[in-house]
């Protein structure tokens, strides 16, 4: 069982069954008068518990080699995702969208608003509305609290359901075929008594996610017809999953009924055009490279980009130059990467292109003066794109490479693009405090990073180390003492709940 399969098990819903059509609006929000599967007011899994469960699962997801910590892709997905979320009727806005390196057409939602999109889905989307349709469907699963509903339907079996989710992850993480078989065995063993009701319920959940996702898409301004062709391709792809995946996954097909339902709904909506963003095209080119993990794969993609260049012009030509720049970076050819990055800048204004140019300038720099110039350009980019986390982190990374740690720390503490509530903010601070030999501050921020990951026990351990190091000022040590008390109390509560 591969990564896709065990996450399907964790979320208790297959998302090989992807959404309906992306819609565009601009005037009156769409109201499809959607039927509801029923209230979740009495669900045993509260929104806070659901979010905590998702954070716990994400610790395993982040440890998987297919999890992509790519700033460009993550920023694009979250920007697109929140365009949809802001037009969705949802109980939470704590969403996090992230890419998974997998060539298959798929996406999945985890508890608490964590939504993954396979690189294959992004690359194969023929337009941005198709990709938005996939994400809108997954947002529908979250907004309708389908996992909480599933657990409510199981009544007293909540602990068994959650336990089997986590056990399946651990089994799959064992690696190789043996790990996959173990995960399947856990699923069939611990959930045998409830599996059929889960699957029957999930078919209803998929239909509801289709319809809710469609309404979200329309309100967010996407093309109402953009998803139908993707639906057809996904249906063809699903034939492979039906034959290769465990039997219980085959009960989640893209049925003719679902496809017909979505087509009927889109026919009643006035057609709208949605122009693809430049960043959509750039991310597609980027992921064609990053989906590969070996030199021969990167060479193959580069050759394909060069072939397409012969018949491309305008923006598409510049996008291909960007792809060639990314490929050259993976192949450790900094001079070639810089040449292509400069040609790519003709595509237009994009933080992705600017970030790529400053990075390749730095990597190709021959002298200390050239490196300083690249860092200055990266700082100028922060002023041009003040809300871009990717641009801010790029500047921080270059400062780190230059050993300008105090300057880096001052920037992080004053900049708003990298949220102080994000785990990455604390990780970036921790590594520079380590270089400066400030142990208490290093452990403090490492602890905060773990706390935001949902690893309370690891956070307590780091705070304890910070307390023992005792090399901070009065304010720092007081902050560590206070956070350590809070985290120890939280850990006691978590252990009590686990009994």
User: What is the percent of the chain with per-residue pLDDT over 70, rounded to a whole number?
Assistant: 75
Q: Say how far apart CA 433 and CA 218 lie, in whole Å.
A: 47
Stretch 257-276: mean pLDDT: 81
β-pair partners for 110: 114
Residue 388 has pLDDT above 90, yes or no: yes
Q: Say how far apart CA 79 and CA 122 lie, in whole Å.
A: 14
Q: What was the pLDDT predicted at 161?
A: 54
Q: How many Cα atoms are found within 13 Å in the side-chain-facing hemisphere of 260?
A: 3
Q: How many Cα atoms are found within 13 Å in the side-chain-facing hemisphere of 419?
A: 5
**pTM beyond 0.75:** yes
Per-residue pLDDT reduced to its tens digit, 78-92: 999 999 999 988 877
Q: What was the pLDDT predicted at 426?
A: 97
Residue 154 has pLDDT above 50, yes or no: yes
Least confident window among 214-223, 350-359, 414-423, 475-484: 214-223
Those residues with Cβ within 8 angstroms of residue 477's Cβ, 6 or more apart along the chain or in another chain: 440, 467, 470
Stretch 51-69: mean pLDDT: 85
CA of 419: how far to CAs of 81, 253, 385, 392, 412, in Å?
18, 40, 15, 11, 9
Q: What was the pLDDT predicted at 380?
A: 97
Task: Please name which of 88, 335, 351, 99 lies closest in space to residue 220, comparing C-alpha atoms.
Answer: 88
- Average pLDDT in the chain: 80
Q: What was the pLDDT predicted at 428?
A: 97
What residue ranges in 261-326 does DSSP mark as E strands? none
For residue 226, what pLDDT band results from cuts at 50, 70 and 90? low
CA of 346: how far to CAs of 53, 138, 375, in Å?
45, 35, 22
Stretch 463-475: mean pLDDT: 97
Which SS3 state, helix, strand or coil, does residue 205 take?
A: helix
Neighbouring CB atoms inside 10 A of 167's CB total: 18
């Amino acid at each position: 069982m591969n990564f896709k399969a065990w996450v399907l098990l964790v979320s208790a819903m297959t998302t090989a069954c992807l959404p309906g059509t992306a819609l565009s609006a601009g005037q009156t929000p769409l109201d499809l008068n959607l039927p509801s599967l029923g209230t979740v007011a009495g669900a045993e899994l509260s929104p806070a518990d659901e979010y905590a469960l998702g954070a716990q699962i994400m610790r395993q997801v982040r440890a998987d080699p297919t999890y992509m910590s790519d700033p460009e892709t993550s920023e694009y997905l979250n920007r697109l995702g929140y365009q949809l979320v802001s037009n969705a009727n949802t109980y939470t806005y704590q969403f996090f969208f992230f890419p998974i390196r997998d060539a298959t057409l798929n996406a999945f939602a985890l508890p608490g608003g964590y939504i993954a999109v396979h690189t294959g889905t992004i690359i194969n989307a023929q337009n941005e509305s198709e990709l938005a349709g996939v994400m809108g469907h997954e947002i529908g699963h979250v907004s309708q609290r389908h996992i909480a509903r599933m657990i409510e339907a199981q009544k007293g079996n909540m602990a068994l359901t959650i336990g089997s989710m986590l056990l399946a992850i651990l089994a799959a993480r064992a690696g190789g075929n043996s790990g996959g078989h173990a995960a399947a065995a856990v699923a069939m063993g611990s959930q045998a008594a409830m599996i059929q009701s889960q699957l029957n319920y999930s078919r209803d959940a998929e239909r509801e996610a289709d319809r809710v996702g469609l309404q979200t898409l329309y309100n967010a301004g996407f093309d109402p017809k953009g998803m139908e062709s993707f639906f057809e391709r996904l249906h063809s792809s699903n034939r492979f999953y039906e034959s290769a995946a465990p039997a219980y996954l085959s009960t989640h097909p893209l049925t003719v009924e679902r496809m017909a339902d979505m087509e009927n709904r889109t026919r009643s909506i006035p057609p709208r055009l949605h122009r693809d963003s430049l960043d959509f095209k750039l991310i597609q080119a980027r992921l064609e490279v990053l989906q590969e993990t070996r030199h021969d794969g990167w060479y193959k993609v580069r050759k394909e980009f060069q072939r397409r260049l012969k018949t491309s012009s305008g923006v598409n030509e510049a996008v291909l130059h960007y792809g060639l720049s990314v490929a050259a970076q993976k192949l450790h050819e900094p001079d070639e990467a810089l040449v292509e990055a400069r040609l790519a800048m003709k595509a237009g204004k994009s933080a992705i292109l600017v970030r790529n140019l400053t990075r390749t300038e730095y990597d190709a720099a021959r002298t200390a003066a050239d490196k300083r110039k690249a860092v200055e350009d990266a700082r100028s980019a922060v002023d041009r794109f003040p809300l871009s986390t990717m641009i801010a982190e790029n500047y921080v990374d270059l400062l780190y490479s230059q050993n300008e740690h105090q300057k880096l720390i001052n920037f992080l503490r004053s900049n708003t693009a990298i949220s102080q509530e994000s785990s990455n903010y604390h990780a970036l601070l921790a590594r520079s405090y380590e270089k400066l030999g400030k142990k208490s501050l290093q452990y403090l921020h490492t602890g905060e990073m773990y706390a935001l990951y949902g690893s309370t026990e690891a956070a307590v351990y780091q705070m304890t180390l910070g307390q023992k190091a005792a090399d901070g000022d009065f304010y720092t040590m007081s902050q560590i003492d206070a956070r350590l008390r809070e985290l120890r109390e939280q850990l006691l509560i978590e252990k009590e709940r686990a009994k």
